[in-house]
């Protein structure tokens, strides 16, 4: 593993000899999810002490994979959850969309009861309370017609010393109570001894708990809509009488869908707290700050909070939209909305705050993708949006919002799932357009107009008819530091592919992105989020969340390379840039080097001199955070010759 050099730079230059052939990546998803708890589609959290240490562990059911287990490595009053990916390894995905844990055979350890596609399944614990093992028992609940994806919970509702069961049904939305006619060691549940409690519409998610501290058990139910339905038990501990009470949870779950609750004392204060999953995935935690008889709910956003989840099919793009010198995230989504997350941190330590209202007018069809850049020379970031239909839509930034432009891109139809990327591919100072589509193809539209009046013309076979499979999502960067754009693509099948630009010939190099994986509908985006001058990778996916891979390539690593035959200054990359630009040059022999930067008035704004640099390629970074937007001249002098290129700083 290479060590990465990190330093604060302000209108400064970093320079090093480099050209590595391998690209190490280190995954660090905490930048988008500081809690470490994943956002899983249609999440269903349930809590139990799975290792016998007197604190509550967590299992999150979902529709993507097996329920995911997290052991509490904190305490009963201050939980901290750590992934355990072996506990449920014997459980079938067809049996378990969600799971609860109760001692159904009174042997002192917790058994697993799962609801899944094949119905209701019991996995008796053949291990211990400290080290559970869950082999499947095939004759689980033979007299219960649970259907597909039932949601169970258990309590002793009639105070006879054994567990009774409630089931929430998927298609009907019924909530049904099954009285145990067996005993604590051998429970028996049947349709003959069951009663309906209520019908909540579709997909009932019931959980027991004594919410009014009257020594009988009440029932909270989530469902396939917003909010909750609370059935208060106004009977007694042996004879339940259910009555809906709309006040206790009236202000909760109103802005989330498919809420699946659990009631448990998560902070050890003797009162039941509320934790619930949602259709989009994030877990929501409300502490009971009232009493055990009259609960009052206060949001806790630290334990499970902080995760960024756009709801589905996240397709990120990064741009300094608010002009504060750090990169914000603009993201397409499954439902077609464009989400904007302002980076409220710094260039080296990102933090995110959603503020999407400015982009509300950019919605077209579903499965949107977006790119930003100044296409008309007014120093404002305009937007191009792709969607399910394969069209491209230009929205011009008016300063207060966006206005749809019906004069550009209207003749482009990519066939489905268009993903645009603005980039100055030919280094002529205007923005060209690259795009992927549903069939896995890449397209290139050269801007043959100007930086203020674009005219995008398709250049056929520019990408050599590359086909990445299905749903091509491109992102471009000079990853190998040779002064031209390379690209990485994601696709439908979790794959991340890298193509190096070798004099306009595209060469796939899988080893460069070795170890980088995405989810379904992988949507990569190059971005320097740690401010070290190289591009990291952010990957969106079908779940609506993000993975972050830090580029661990050492900026000062020296490797064997072919000695260049002449002094050469390459175009600044990227161009336009904001705020860091890469300056790449070659020396045929050791020489003193001076780099100067001028504005268009001829005023020198920076100079950096090296007494001697060795032969080879050199890559430097200029941070223009304190410079004004505009055109600059970058000049490199090797003691014998001067070469200059233009660089456009666009904030």
378 plus 498 within the same structural domain = yes
Nearest to 419 by CA among 394, 405, 438: 438
- Kindly state whether residues 375 and 422 are assigned to the same domain: yes
Please tell me whether residues 508 and 593 are part of one structural domain.
no
Both 379 and 431 in a single domain?
yes
Residue 562 lies in a domain: no
For 100, counting Cβ atoms within 10 Å of its Cβ (0-12 exposed, 13-18 middle, 19+ buried), the class is buried
In this structure, the answer to whether residues 246 and 327 fall within a common structural domain is no
Domain end call among 551, 583, 615 = 551
Considering 265, 299, 333, which residue would you say is the last residue of a domain? 299
Residue 169 to residue 544: CA distance in whole angstroms? 27
Residue 557 falls inside a structural domain? no
In a domain, residue 28? The reply is no
Looking at the structure, tell me whether residues 355 and 418 fall in a common domain: yes
- The answer to whether position 606 is within a domain reads yes
Can you tell me the distance from the alpha carbon of 580 to that of 33, in angstroms, rounded to the nearest whole number? Answer: 26
Please give the residue range of the domain that contains residue 466: 315-551
Q: Two tokens at 617?
A: 């390629």
CATH number at residue 385: 2.115.10.20
For the chain, what is the mean pLDDT?
A: 89
> How long a stretch of residues is the chain?
651
Pair (65, 183) in one structural domain: yes
In a domain, 19, yes or no: no
Indicate whether 98 and 143 sit together in one domain. yes
Q: Note whether 475 and 526 are same-domain residues.
A: yes
Tokens of residue 339, six digits: 């989400």
User: How does strand 352-354 pair with strand 242-244?
Assistant: unpaired
Q: Are residues 294 and 327 in the same domain?
A: no
The proportion of the chain whose per-residue pLDDT surpasses 70, expressed as a percent, equals 95
CATH of the domain at 604: 2.60.40.1930
Q: Which residues of the chain have pLDDT under 70?
A: 1-23, 138, 553-563
pLDDT attached to residue 10: 33
Domain presence at residue 7? no
CB neighbours of 248 closer than 8 A, spacing ≥ 6?
211, 230, 232, 295
Q: Are residues 507 and 622 in the same domain?
A: no
pLDDT at 29: 86
Q: Is residue 144 part of a domain?
A: yes
pLDDT digits (tens, 9 = 90+) for 369-381: 999 999 999 999 9
pTM given for the model: 0.66
CA distance 567 to 182: 88
My answer on whether 221 and 258 are in the same domain is: yes
Tens digit of pLDDT for each residue in 99-132? 999 999 999 999 999 999 889 999 999 999 999 9
In a domain, 17, yes or no: no
Residues 18-44 as b/e (b if ≥16 CB within 10 A, e otherwise) read bbbeebbbeeebebbbebebbbbbbbb
Per-residue pLDDT of 547-589, as tens digits, reads 999 987 643 333 334 567 888 888 787 777 888 788 888 888 8
Contacts of 26 (CB under 8 A, 6+ apart): 1, 549, 550, 552
Instruction: Return phi, psi of residue 436, to 5°.
Output: -110, 170
DSSP 573-607: BSSSBSSEEEEEEEESS-EEEEEEEEETTS-EEEE
Distance between CA 577 and CA 343 in Å, rounded? 18
Sign of CA dihedral 99, 101, 105, 108: positive
What total of structural domains would you count in the chain? 3
Residue 362 DSSP class: G
Query: For residues 284 and 299, is the Cβ–Cβ distance under 8 A?
Result: yes
Taking alpha carbons only, the member of 165, 229, 153, 161 closest to residue 195 is: 165
Distance CA 400, CA 410 (A): 24
């Amino acid at each position: 593993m290479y060590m990465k050099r990190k330093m604060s730079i302000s209108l400064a230059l970093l320079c090093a000899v480099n050209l590595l052939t391998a690209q190490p990546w280190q995954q660090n998803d905490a930048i988008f999810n500081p809690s470490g708890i994943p956002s899983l589609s249609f999440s269903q959290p349930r809590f139990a002490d799975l290792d016998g240490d007197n604190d509550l562990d967590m299992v999150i059911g979902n529709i993507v994979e097996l329920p995911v287990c997290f052991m509490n490595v904190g305490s009963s009053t201050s939980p901290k959850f750590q992934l355990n990916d072996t506990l449920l390894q014997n459980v079938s995905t067809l049996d378990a969309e969600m799971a609860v844990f109760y001692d159904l055979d009174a042997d002192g350890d917790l058994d697993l009861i799962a609801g899944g596609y094949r119905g209701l399944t019991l996995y008796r614990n053949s291990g211990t309370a400290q080290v559970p093992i869950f082999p499947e028992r095939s004759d689980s609940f033979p007299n219960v017609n649970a259907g597909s994806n039932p949601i169970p919970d258990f309590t002793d509702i009639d105070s006879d010393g054994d567990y009774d069961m409630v089931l929430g049904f998927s298609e009907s939305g019924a909530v049904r109570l099954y009285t145990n006619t067996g005993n604590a060691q051998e429970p028996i549940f049947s349709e003959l001894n069951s009663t309906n409690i209520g019908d909540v519409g579709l997909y009932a998610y019931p959980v027991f708990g004594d919410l009014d501290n009257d020594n009988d058990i009440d029932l909270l139910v989530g469902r396939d809509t917003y909010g909750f339905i609370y059935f208060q038990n106004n009977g007694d501990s042996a004879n339940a009488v259910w009555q809906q009470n709309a006040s206790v949870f009236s202000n909760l779950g109103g802005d989330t869908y498919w809420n699946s609750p659990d009631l448990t004392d998560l902070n050890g204060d003797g009162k039941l707290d509320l934790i619930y999953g949602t259709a989009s995935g994030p877990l929501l935690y409300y502490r009971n700050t009232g009493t055990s008889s009259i609960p009052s709910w206060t949001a806790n956003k630290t334990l499970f909070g902080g995760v960024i989840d756009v709801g589905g099919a996240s397709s990120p793009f990064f741009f300094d939209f608010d002009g504060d010198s750090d990169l914000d995230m603009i993201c397409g989504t499954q439902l077609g909305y464009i989400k904007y997350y302002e980076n409220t941190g710094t260039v080296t330590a990102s933090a995110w705050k959603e503020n999407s209202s400015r982009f509300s007018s950019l919605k077209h069809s579903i499965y949107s993708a977006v790119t930003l850049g100044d296409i008309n020379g007014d120093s404002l970031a305009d937007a191009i949006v792709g969607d399910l239909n394969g069209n491209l839509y230009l929205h011009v930034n008016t300063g207060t919002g966006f206005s749809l432009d019906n004069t550009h891109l209207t003749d482009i139809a990519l066939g489905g799932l268009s993903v645009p990327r603005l980039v100055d591919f030919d280094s002529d100072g205007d923005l060209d357009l690259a795009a992927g589509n549903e069939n896995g193809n890449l397209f290139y539209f050269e801007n043959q107009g100007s930086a203020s009046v674009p005219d995008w013309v398709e250049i056929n076979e520019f990408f050599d008819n590359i086909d990445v499979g299905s749903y091509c999502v491109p992102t471009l960067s000079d990853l190998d530091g040779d002064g031209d754009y390379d690209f990485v693509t994601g696709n439908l099948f979790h794959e991340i592919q890298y193509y190096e630009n070798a004099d306009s010939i595209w060469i796939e190099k899988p080893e460069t992105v070795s170890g980088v994986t995405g989810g379904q509908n992988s949507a990569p985006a190059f971005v320097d989020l740690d401010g070290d001058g190289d591009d990291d990778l952010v990957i969106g996916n079908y779940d609506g969340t993000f993975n972050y891979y830090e580029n661990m390539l050492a900026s000062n690593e020296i490797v064997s390379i072919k000695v260049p035959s002449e002094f050469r200054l390459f175009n600044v990359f990227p161009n336009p840039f904001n705020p860091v630009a890469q300056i790449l040059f070659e020396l045929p022999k050791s020489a003193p080097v001076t780099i100067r930067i001028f504005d268009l008035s001829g005023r020198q704004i920076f100079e950096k001199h090296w007494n001697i640099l060795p032969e080879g390629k050199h890559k430097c970074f200029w941070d223009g955070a304190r410079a004004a937007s505009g055109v600059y001249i970058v000049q490199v002098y090797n003691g014998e010759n001067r070469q200059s290129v233009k660089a456009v700083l666009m904030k």
